[in-house]
Amino acid sequence: MKIFLNGKLVDKSHATVSVFDHGLLYGDGVFEGIRSYGRLIFKLDEHLDRLFESAKAIELGMPMTRDELTKAVIKTLKANKLEDGYIRLVITRGAGDLGLDPRKCKAATVFIITDKIMFYPDEYYKRGLHVIIAKTKRNLKDALNPQIKSLNYLNNILGKIEAIKAGKEEAIMLSNEGYVAECTGENIFIVKDGMLFTPPPDIGALKGVTRLAVIGIAKKDKITVKEELIKPEDLYAADECFLTGTAAEIVSVTKIDEHVIGDGRSGKLTGKLLKEFRKLTKTEGVKY
């Protein structure tokens, strides 16, 4: 496997960064997870938009232009002979010292990993997920803006650990006020009376690229979509529930804690949206 590292393709075994890199020491950096389908990088522009916005939010100077990053992603995909793949694009503050001062980091680190990914087994898309509501609350939005896709994912990891200990696939995270924010790695939607509901981003949810794609598909199909505050009891009373994410795409949730959602099977609207989403992946993106 070849990894793009600071302008060069190197073997996986030689793709190393300094132990003084602030991305490693402090989670000081930003990243994007991107998918390619049939040599088409899905919604690359939207992912780069968010990458640059995240970098600006933490005052991290981007060492490469959008065009240079696009070429680097394509170069890495081609080097690994991937037609369908997962892309992890990472920018760290770079090597500094043991102090927090970002001025000590003289040059950002850039690396790109391209590989195969199967986030959930196929059977989960048929039967749906059984998830829990985590006790770990989502980061306060005034402490760490959820729109910054940073390398510091400890909050999400703690929620994931709860799911693992419970023997479940995923965990829903609530805001400090007790409203549904998102899962540890995906956005969340519910279906009620033929309408879609999803938490507003300012409650602590990332503006996911797949989330926005699903909203676009729904609106095109004349399905009402509302961004509203959602409580756990709203989840339990939903007709359908599903998660969205770059790696997961769209996957149904059929049980939350001990509450069966709808009839306990993957919902019809969820299936319809997944089918239309997968059609979209074959038409939108950057070819390579």
Report, as ranges of residue numbers, the positions in the chain whose pLDDT lies below 70: none
Distance between terminal CA atoms of the chain?
18
In whole angstroms, what is the distance from residue 112 CA to residue 265 CA? 38
Q: What angle do CA 107, 111, 112 make, to 5 degrees?
A: 155
Q: Is 126 a catalytic residue?
A: no
* pLDDT value, residue 119: 82
Give the three-class secondary structure for 2: strand
Residue 200 structure tokens: 């507003």
pTM for the model: 0.95
* pLDDT value, residue 141: 87
- Looking at domain 2-115, its CATH architecture is 2-Layer Sandwich (3.30)
Top CATH class of 122-280 equals alpha beta
Residue whose tokens read 């760490």: 144
The amino acid present at 18, given as its one-letter code, is S
In whole angstroms, what is the distance from residue 111 CA to residue 271 CA? 35
Residue 139 DSSP code? P
The amino acid present at 109, given as its one-letter code, is T
Residue whose tokens read 């793009």: 4
* pLDDT value, residue 117: 86
* pLDDT value, residue 200: 96
Is the CB of residue 287 less than 8 Å from the CB of residue 231? no
> What residues does each domain of the chain span?
2-115, 122-280
* pLDDT value, residue 136: 98
* Segment 120-129, tens digit of pLDDT: 989 999 999 9
Is the CB of residue 41 less than 8 Å from the CB of residue 13? no
* Segment 145-179, tens digit of pLDDT: 989 999 999 999 999 999 999 999 999 999 999 99
Name the active-site residue from 149, 192, 226, 255.
149
Is the CB of residue 153 less than 8 Å from the CB of residue 144? no
